[in-house]
A and B are shown apart, each in its own frame.
Chain A
């Protein structure tokens, strides 16, 4: 078990290394560097001005040297004035020292956000906290509802309840966040006027029922159908097992059979599915946060990508890749733990 986890962690580190290298390559493409320098200077800067800004800030150094700097294996260099020889920090708003130093991911330094004029850590971690709060409420809503739907549909296969619940769950999987968000906003904010169509106040004044329900609902609904269908399939399979028939034949009531015998075994598979839902939720987070103007991780990612904020974007991708891979690991380990028939070799 320990060697399995160790091997997986090794693969995880390798994947993160490759992915950040790819992201680093993409954000350092010529058009993207141009976009960055234009957003840092102004729209009408001349080509020489842009070029000198890029050289001055070290964006023209060797690709691998710069990646090494971000990683923390090569020293970050301050800006040296070629005439006077005076050294100044590259980004003064990030408290960078004005001498060469190691400051990369390996030292725990995420770098400097050029868009928000602060360190990446100062921007990224509060945003992650905000998104964590959103995710927490989404999970609170999504998991019980979908498990309930799946169990009710799956315990009597082929009945009318089963059919209508199945069609309903197919319908929710066909409704991406940007569609359900629009529809919910129309119904609950425009027509009924009971909920707030924007979660912008949630960042400044704390979350309330009226500003947080719509984002949570919108995100939960897309996942509910999928998890419910998996739960149903698992439940249907369990209900055909011999031990369920035995329990029925010995005279137990149907509800007791479902609760005592079927449920525990039927909920193993959905656990994996819920864990593997996290990558999907990440995409959902971006859409929902942009749609409802909630200042979380997704909003930060879009801002970083839109302005080609290199360090912030790399930080965001590192975090999201970590979330994806870590939940996969948990799902594998948890599955083996919950299901005694499976042993990881």
Chain B
């Protein structure tokens, strides 16, 4: 059966039209940001430079794309419509009359919808994994940098141990299907996901020790919410059934956190070693504050600038890591629409069809580029002060 095709310009218009919720949301957010620019602090200053605007725009674009993925994508990312096998961009699917805007892949799935849904996977896992890596890195980096000595030597040795592993080898060892039969991923998840709870408990305890009523509420909330998430993620036993994670997703999540937390550790350690020589730390020490109070309430807030920049870069790096996992077919299911897996699938067939390879490749590249531009702009702004 002959397929009908849209022209190049019509295809372009079609893509633009499909993204209408994103354009709408972008317009609202940008309008609000521009009008309240002066009151938005660091975020408002981002709009002063071209690179900053571009970074914010690209990141928001992918954020909204992942939020509105159901509205944007015309087809189910996993549905196979056999006439559309290897269809070229702009081919019209005969039954619904909708176009396969970026064509169909080897298994006759809509590449456009897959790219849109791929953003969901990336934008959930990458920032969440970065957040956990930050928690682990901060909780371990603060004492290492502040106390120095034996704690520092031990923790630095462990961090260097992980950093000396080539990432690929680490992933091949940690993210094979067989390892999900062993307790290793769950044990590692159990350790890593404990860190945020420890972090927040210490954070509140050191500050509000003298106000027991407030402290009890804070600690109870932390343990309740933290424990709820913990149960859901590690044991997959959320009593409310809201938080659920598949074993293979938990596995890649843990592997990515494991691979990127030593980097955070090193940065935090370096920052703390620098900041602890400042006068306000000496003042706090003279006041007789406890070490953990100084670390969490004096040192950490003053290290936030470089940490925010690093977090931006690290989300991008985590996205690249996820893509690497997908490219080697580790962890994620073979039919998963994430960008790395899509690039792997299509790069094998580049000789016959090139159109399935481009959308996921450009999507991944643009998202990481947006994050890097954002980080660069943030760094420039923080250097100005």
Are A31 and B179 within 8 A (Cβ)? Answer: yes
Q: Do A170 and B372 form a contact, CB below 8 Å, given A186-B354, A197-B351?
A: yes
A-B contact count (CB 8 A): 134
Chain A 307-345, CB within 8 Å of chain B: the 1/0 string? 000000100110011001100000000000000000000
Please report the C-alpha to C-alpha distance between residue A186 and residue B351 in the assembled complex, in whole angstroms: 9
Partner of A186, one of B164, B344, B358, B364: B358
B38 contacts chain A at the CB level, 8 A cutoff: no
Please report the C-alpha to C-alpha distance between residue A166 and residue B377 in the assembled complex, in whole angstroms: 12
B173 contacts chain A at the CB level, 8 A cutoff: yes
Chain A 169-194, CB within 8 Å of chain B: the 1/0 string? 01101111011011101100110000
Across the interface, which residues of A come within 8 angstroms of B316, CB to CB? Answer: 174
B302 contacts chain A at the CB level, 8 A cutoff: no
Chain A 87-118, CB within 8 Å of chain B: the 1/0 string? 00000000000000000000000000000000
**Distance (whole angstroms) from the CB of A104 to the closest CB of chain B:** 20
Q: Do A32 and B164 form a contact, CB below 8 Å, given A182-B357, A190-B354?
A: no
**Distance (whole angstroms) from the CB of A181 to the closest CB of chain B:** 7
Name which of A23, A35, A176, A283 has the most chain B CB atoms within 10 A of its CB.
Answer: A176
How many residues on the A side are at the interface (Cβ–Cβ under 8 A)? 51
- Of chain A, the residue at the smallest CB distance from B339 is A179
Across the interface, which residues of B come within 8 angstroms of A305, CB to CB? Answer: 169, 172-173
CB-CB contacts below 8 Å: B143-189 with A: 157, 160-161, 163-169, 172-174, 176-179, 181-182, 184
Are A182 and B343 within 8 A (Cβ)? Answer: yes
Are B160 and A286 within 8 A (Cβ)? Answer: no
Partner of B165, one of A35, A173, A321: A321
**Distance (whole angstroms) from the CB of B53 to the closest CB of chain A:** 13
Main secondary structure of the interface of B (DSSP, over half): helix
Across the interface, which residues of B come within 8 angstroms of A301, CB to CB? Answer: 166, 168-169, 172
Across the interface, which residues of A come within 8 angstroms of B351, CB to CB? Answer: 190, 197
Q: Do A320 and B169 form a contact, CB below 8 Å, given A34-B178, A167-B51, A279-B163?
A: yes
A282 contacts chain B at the CB level, 8 A cutoff: yes
Are B340 and A178 within 8 A (Cβ)? Answer: yes
A30 contacts chain B at the CB level, 8 A cutoff: yes
Chain B 67-86, CB within 8 Å of chain A: the 1/0 string? 00000000000000000000
A29 contacts chain B at the CB level, 8 A cutoff: yes
- Of chain A, the residue at the smallest CB distance from B327 is A178
A80 contacts chain B at the CB level, 8 A cutoff: no
A135 contacts chain B at the CB level, 8 A cutoff: no
CB-CB contacts below 8 Å: A181-222 with B: 181-183, 185-186, 189-190, 197
